[in-house]
Structure 1
């Protein structure tokens, strides 16, 4: 029963009105400073607090369009769609203050609608308290109870009166945070030892932000080392992908990765969509399109982020350094655990025999049925052994028609890279293994990135990757004029993309693909060696 006298129905935050009344939309965002602690120190006594919460979202990665006070402690919230788009209403991140301690507040994000979301299975939003941070507990914590869906609704009780808090769909990882991490990695790489660390600009986004390319290996450089290419954050709302890449990057510049650096050359593009991240989008770039549906024919005018990254891949292939492994890191809102999607030539949507893939070329030299690389499923199985959050049973290797324009499938088809994967990390929790029943946070995701790196030496030993011989042979016919000197000179560069042959970038993989939308382990087994027979059994699970 609702008492009509309780209804307030008052708009307490309106981003559109704030922008319209300001002389410059950027006037409040061009100061790189946070004054939350100073505000709390100068705060008025709790009994003089206003009668409603105050909201703010005009900061990096923020997303809240309007807040309506329905009752004294109940608020309806509306999110911004992606810029230039009418949909993709999922990511939220905003500041709230002027709260009372020990009393429940109800929040209804009335346009956060996604059937099958993990909110229906117990997932809770993330809360950061400035007062807790000032007390030495600077953590993002799962908060709220009585979560409900179809509309995302939850109840929060604050610990401190007058606190300043931040509420988010997941733990934010901003472009500014990436720049800080890049500086830390570079500092670690310049502290001596055998680390060769290179940070370069692969190109600029539509908004003029740099797309960073990181290279990590050991000195002296051996150009016969296989290349591993990792990309992440093509979807800006999937901040969990960035935390996984951060864990990988931290491990690569650590003393523990000394042998790994001697075995591989790593190339990381940690944030493919910086514009979307900065502006608080969930899925799109400033061109109002999903960049993970633009890999077939990217253009420098509309999708420079993908154009330059695909150009890097093309350069590596043409110079005899075709990556042995490609992984695109994502977040997943409908499944638990961490898992992989891959491309099996025997599980393709194409009617009859799918010939346009490296598996077909592997099968009897192109004249026989398609075949999988013997070590193709080795990496996810190794991860299921060593990474507590990883689940083999969630992995899938089907090639779907709707995914033909995604990074994983295009890299597999056009670049002829057999080991091309999407690594998906849940926003929610694990339902198996050591972390069963626990939400996944920064620690678990960074551990996942480190475990991925640790597995690669065992994966390489299993696959017995010859030192670039297969890739050199495959590319010799494509570019016989490339000299050994130019190969070694361009191997660590990859930032000069403007003069590349655009025809190579516009190769059509399978023209029947479409741009459909998608939202798309027991640790007690030790380091059991995987046999060939074990890997060839598709239903054999590790737990």
Structure 2
């Protein structure tokens, strides 16, 4: 009887606790766990297995097997400065120290940069199986205190520190794993300092010719003692800030030009534990804690479902959040959808702060949040590149490639998060209209927040359509969002980006929203750095603008001429191109005659 029922369904089943011998036989031939068989008397009842109600956020983080990971749990409090923090004002007398090197200096911290393999092979929870190697190289009893460095924690990426003076240190950043490039993000720990003493730090292997440090941006400092005693978190710090070209170096017969960031700093306390960073860190662990928190709220749980979209290359979960009222919207094909993603580039942590602000507004109990949830179905992928975030990469995944050039790929196993995101959007568009796609990013060369969009040159009636939403954003966040900086182009080199790929699928409002690492040059915030609260507020403003866009206020979008006045801005390109957008590294190791077929798949 059971066999007949199974044949009628065309598959086998899983019976979790069944004494029926026929079920045991069927379980041996199990092909799926989608069907569950229970019994009412002797009659089998077959049903679909329901999806899990909650995602397990307690699973350990998976690291490449090469990575040494210390056991310290890093936690930073949130804090907003009482007053906006001003940009650094250059004096014109800042030093430009040239690299000294370990031959004339003293290596005080060094971790292995060379990986066991030229490309990612496998991962495990906690990284390397081997004991943690010593990375500090000085006698702790030395009378002249030497700073103690560490970066073998989540999102850390300092490779080497060389003492080149009594209080001067040359720092080398680890490049993105399985590449020799992409050094811009930094995040590391310092101990064993003296308060009131001026230290100099010089990062010697940056690769971008320009930076917001040339426009007054300051690095970030976090003091654990200040956090514990005064509730003070990340704050801008540093003087004598200089960004400059330092040297060129030959590598494999190629000339690489390096740039330095040099600054001086005084720590607030003796023997403190401090952290220095390029931008406010936002780790994969923090995302897991945030998602666990929102899904533990019964009210939020009724309209917000967190699921695993796919597994990353290392096996970390890529989460997708679906927001819509329970038992409504799915069958209503007239309800439109909104897709929002973030953190495809792991070093752009400001994107995650915007995402948290976006979710915080959308999952709130305000009337506007309720209206948005009633109006749209939201699909949100908060962290597209968890592996890169975990290991402290700036731009790439563990495939050694820029995922934001892979949205047209057929290589699902090499670039799972972007493949599954595109696939999800295609399925969503088969059911309903997607009114907006927005991918959150960070920008290293421009201040303010702005958008990159696409431009329709075929249909003249749509020429200005894509400019409306960014213009409305500029009205809602006039002291942070710059419409003048927005660009609308479809470039051949960017065809693999999420923005253009989604526009090609038919989403007219397809954008990259770029938030500066620095701050604002607008209104009453002119010349001041962004805080985490400022970044979160941009997520709020996206929600607010979405409401306005659905019911436009004529005061905010006065006339078409208001948009046409910005037409001269269309002749420049969008975000930085990446030169890590080719094959995944493990495929580059294949024989040359295999490349043609793989390139076809790309």
The aligned residue for residue 270 of structure 2 is 161
How far is the alpha carbon of 1:219 from its aligned partner? 4.1
The aligned residue for residue 320 of structure 2 is 213
CA distance in 2, matches of 1:122, 1:8: 32
The aligned residue for residue 247 of structure 1 is 357
CA distance in 2, matches of 1:49, 1:251: 53
The aligned residue for residue 333 of structure 1 is 444
The aligned residue for residue 533 of structure 1 is 560
How far is the alpha carbon of 1:538 from its aligned partner? 3.8
The aligned residue for residue 226 of structure 1 is 336
SS at match of 2:190: strand
**Gap change, CA 1:18 and 1:409, over 3 Å in 2:** closer
The aligned residue for residue 323 of structure 1 is 434
The aligned residue for residue 517 of structure 1 is none
CA distance in 2, matches of 1:297, 1:254: 36
**Gap change, CA 1:538 and 1:264, over 3 Å in 2:** farther
The aligned residue for residue 468 of structure 1 is none
How far is the alpha carbon of 1:373 from its aligned partner? 6.7
Confirm or deny: 8 A CA contact 1:340 1:380 kept in the other structure: yes
1:419 aligns with 2:509: yes
SS at match of 1:179: helix
Question: Which is worse superposed, 331-340 or 209-218?
Answer: 209-218
Q: Report matched runs for 1:104-253 at 5 Å.
A: 104-150=198-244, 151-188=260-297, 190-191=298-299, 196-222=303-329, 223=332, 224-253=334-363
How far is the alpha carbon of 1:265 from its aligned partner? 1.2
SS at match of 2:202: strand
Confirm or deny: 8 A CA contact 1:8 1:71 kept in the other structure: no
CA distance in 2, matches of 1:539, 1:166: 42
SS at match of 1:71: coil
Note the alpha carbon deviations across 1:279-308, whole angstroms, 9 max, x for none. 000000000000001112241121011111
RMSD: 2.7
**Gap change, CA 1:252 and 1:307, over 3 Å in 2:** same
CA distance in 2, matches of 1:182, 1:373: 39
1:408 aligns with 2:499: yes
How far is the alpha carbon of 1:24 from its aligned partner? 7.9
CA distance in 1, matches of 2:305, 2:500: 28
Confirm or deny: 8 A CA contact 1:74 1:107 kept in the other structure: yes
Note the alpha carbon deviations across 1:376-434, whole angstroms, 9 max, x for none. 22211111111131111111112222211111011111x11111000000001111123
The aligned residue for residue 189 of structure 2 is 95
How far is the alpha carbon of 1:267 from its aligned partner? 1.1
The aligned residue for residue 534 of structure 2 is 444
* Equivalent of residue 110 in structure 2, options 1, 5, 14: 14
1:313 aligns with 2:404: no
CA distance in 1, matches of 2:236, 2:554: 33
In the superposition, the TM-score normalised over structure 1's length comes to 0.75
CA distance in 1, matches of 2:534, 2:131: 35
CA distance in 2, matches of 1:395, 1:386: 15
**Gap change, CA 1:272 and 1:142, over 3 Å in 2:** same
How far is the alpha carbon of 1:128 from its aligned partner? 0.6
**Gap change, CA 1:527 and 1:290, over 3 Å in 2:** same
Q: Which has the larger radius of gyration?
A: 2
CA distance in 1, matches of 2:296, 2:554: 33
CA distance in 1, matches of 2:560, 2:540: 28
Confirm or deny: 8 A CA contact 2:372 2:547 kept in the other structure: yes
How far is the alpha carbon of 1:532 from its aligned partner? 4.0
CA distance in 2, matches of 1:211, 1:371: 38
The aligned residue for residue 454 of structure 1 is 544
How far is the alpha carbon of 1:374 from its aligned partner? 6.0
How far is the alpha carbon of 1:97 from its aligned partner? 0.3
CA distance in 2, matches of 1:373, 1:245: 29
Note the alpha carbon deviations across 1:156-183, whole angstroms, 9 max, x for none. 1111011110111111000000001112
Confirm or deny: 8 A CA contact 2:453 2:512 kept in the other structure: yes
Confirm or deny: 8 A CA contact 1:330 1:424 kept in the other structure: yes
SS at match of 2:263: strand
Note the alpha carbon deviations across 1:172-228, whole angstroms, 9 max, x for none. 00000000111222234x237x95111010000000001100011234523332100
CA distance in 2, matches of 1:376, 1:265: 21
Gaps of 5+ in 2: 1-94, 117-125, 133-139, 245-259, 569-602
How far is the alpha carbon of 1:244 from its aligned partner? 0.4
CA distance in 1, matches of 2:273, 2:131: 18
The aligned residue for residue 167 of structure 2 is 73
In the superposition, the TM-score normalised over structure 2's length comes to 0.68
**Gap change, CA 1:9 and 1:59, over 3 Å in 2:** same
